[in-house]
Amino acid sequence: MNYSKSSEIMDEVAEKIALEDFDKVADHHTFSDTYKHKKKMFLKEIQSKGGQPQVKRKKNCLLIAAACLLIGIPTTAFGAAKVYDMFVQKENYEVNVSVTNDAAKNKNSWYKLKLNHMPENMAAIDETAMKYSFKDNFANGGFSFILWRLGKDSDFQTLYSNSYEELEMNGRKAVIVNKDNGNDNLSFNRQVFLLFEKEGFMLESYIGTDVSEEQMIDVLENISLETASKETASQTIDYDEAQSIPKDKPIETKVIPLKNDSPQLFSVGQSVPVTINLGESLSKLEYVVEKVKVFDSLQDFKQENFNPLGLKILHESKAINETKTLLPYKRDVFKAGDGKDSIDELIETKFVNVKFVHLTTTIKNTGKKATEEIYMHPSLKVLRQSENNAWIYAGKKGIAEESIMTGEVDYLEPHGNGKSFYNIGSIAPGQTIKVSLGYFVDEDKLNSIFLDAFHYCGFGNIEDMNKKDRWWIDIRQ
């Protein structure tokens, strides 16, 4: 069987399902960088792809398997079945679950995934009912399901694996693959394959670290497939159809550095003319970062203005005490592995002081119409000087560095409620509003931070940091 080819196809389809899963949680501007970051990390855990490494925050770094190098473990197999045989093979850090099928596939059969038991306080995050999370940990961890219609030969790959177990769940063959990065930074640390022989389907499940072993078994043992119409059936991927999808060649992203004399680079106190599309209208704004201050404590700031994500990371990293004083935290740097033949290797650990960078800014509507609602989520980026005396992202190829920096706005006043935290409302013509922003920053990054303001659009395979829809403010301290 061609493990390589089929696993590539599965990676692509699994990525598509994961993206759709997360994209239905909220609209683009509501989650902004938090949303995109979680999505990216989820995809990192279900596949390992090449590309530029990125600086990532604590609790969301690249996967690190804490396992001995396991080479050449022989193939094992379940007992003979009437229709299907399921084989499991582990080589280094890759586990392949393969199913051979001697029966003709019934493409007209449709099923609905039925969960007959769920942990208390857990619910589906959207109408597809293929992703579940605890209500107090919404859209993070929990269970994520992919339902595969089996082909003649179907191969399922798991990377960053340290062990697996073959067993039966309610009479069904199952494989539990355990994943471990060695420092509790996985959001999903188990991948389970459950074979529905009679129906001709494989259920692939991703299990969050917030789900206990007992909860996982209770859910999986009580899962069933109910006959349904095509319209009411659960989302399904046909393995053979997925395998026939051409695999696109990886597109290398090229970054054009920010020039020192770029017209898109501004200083503190300088007026920044911003033109953006908000809704169906074009809005013209005048943005000014009036002043920047650095603090060692959060005691004097309104706690309700802090983004819950940033505070959660501070507490998990033990970087804040009961008096709201910021403390040093342990920062790890890794050499990135590919999850198949190598894992991430710890190359440096040190304690780093945390600072709170507070920005006082103003936004003036210089247009003739009121703006649409503005979602205020300027990202803080760490840049370094390139060989051509320009500014480029500080991340180095092949290196993953943990950081207290979330990439988010950690403090915002005014702000919206709940998922609309970044919504600061509409601005009338000629009106100027004051907006306070705050970021948690590693002390040794203070001399490298730039504000990437009002960046709502993505970019293709070429990112020009000097484009007219990018506005950079140098806030180095």
User: What single string gives the DSSP state of each residue in 388-401?
Assistant: TS-EEE---TTEEE
- Integer Cα distance of 94 and 408 in angstroms: 34
Encode 55-84: b = buried (16+ Cβ within 10 Å), e = exposed.
Answer: bbbbbbbbbbbebeeeeeeeeeebeeeeeb
The larger pLDDT score, comparing residue 189 to residue 402, is at 189
Mean residue pLDDT across the chain = 83
- Integer Cα distance of 139 and 435 in angstroms: 29
Encode 38-51: b = buried (16+ Cβ within 10 Å), e = exposed.
Answer: bbebbbbbbbbeee
Is pLDDT of 17 > 90?
no
What would the pLDDT profile of 421-464 be if each residue is shown by its tens digit?
A: 999 999 999 999 999 999 999 999 999 999 999 988 777 788 99
Is pLDDT of 112 > 90?
yes
User: Token pair of 34, please?
Assistant: 């938090």
Contact indicator for 357, 438 with CB cutoff of 8 Å:
yes
- Integer Cα distance of 120 and 126 in angstroms: 18
CA quadruple 162, 144, 419, 423: dihedral sign: positive
- Looking at residue 414, its pLDDT comes to 96
- Integer Cα distance of 435 and 476 in angstroms: 19
- Looking at residue 387, its pLDDT comes to 81
Helix 28-46 vs helix 3-23: crossing angle, to nearest 10: 160
- Rounded mean pLDDT of 194-210? 94
Residue 382 burial class via C-beta count within 10 angstroms: exposed 0-12, middle 13-18, buried 19 and up: buried
Single-letter amino acid code for the residue at 68: C
Contact indicator for 356, 439 with CB cutoff of 8 Å:
yes
Is pLDDT of 137 > 90?
no
- Rounded mean pLDDT of 223-246? 92
* Pick from 415, 133, 140, 455: nearest CA to 287: 455
- Integer Cα distance of 93 and 179 in angstroms: 9
Contacts of 399 (CB under 8 A, 6+ apart): 53, 333, 334, 335, 336, 347
User: Token pair of 367, please?
Assistant: 């247009």
DSSP 134-154: EGGGTTSSSEEEEEEE--SEE
- Looking at residue 23, its pLDDT comes to 42
- Report the range of poorest mean pLDDT among 68-72, 356-360, 404-408: 68-72
User: Token pair of 45, please?
Assistant: 């855990």
- Integer Cα distance of 122 and 135 in angstroms: 6
DSSP 20-46: HHHHTTS-HHHHHHHHHHHHHHHHHHH
Report field, pTM of the whole predicted structure over 0.85: no
Read off the pLDDT band of 337 (50, 70, 90): confident
The larger pLDDT score, comparing residue 363 to residue 11, is at 363
User: Token pair of 226, please?
Assistant: 């109910």
- Looking at residue 101, its pLDDT comes to 82
The larger pLDDT score, comparing residue 207 to residue 10, is at 207
Which is it for strands 471-474 and 265-267: parallel, antiparallel or unpaired? Answer: parallel
Is pLDDT of 53 > 70?
no
- Rounded mean pLDDT of 29-45? 42
- Rounded mean pLDDT of 239-245? 89
Contact indicator for 380, 449 with CB cutoff of 8 Å:
yes
CA quadruple 415, 416, 418, 421: dihedral sign: negative
Contact indicator for 166, 76 with CB cutoff of 8 Å:
yes
> Measured at the alpha carbon of residue 188, what is the angle toward residues 143 and 408, in degrees to the nearest 5?
100
- Integer Cα distance of 354 and 442 in angstroms: 5
- Integer Cα distance of 407 and 117 in angstroms: 37
> Measured at the alpha carbon of residue 190, what is the angle toward residues 236 and 182, in degrees to the nearest 5?
145
- Integer Cα distance of 464 and 55 in angstroms: 19
What would the pLDDT profile of 367-407 be if each residue is shown by its tens digit?
A: 999 999 999 999 999 999 988 889 999 988 888 888 888 88
Read off the pLDDT band of 183 (50, 70, 90): low
- Rounded mean pLDDT of 2-16? 45
- Looking at residue 335, its pLDDT comes to 87
> Measured at the alpha carbon of residue 441, what is the angle toward residues 32 and 60, in degrees to the nearest 5?
55
Is pLDDT of 284 > 70?
yes
Is pLDDT of 418 > 80?
yes
- Integer Cα distance of 342 and 336 in angstroms: 8
Read off the pLDDT band of 342 (50, 70, 90): confident
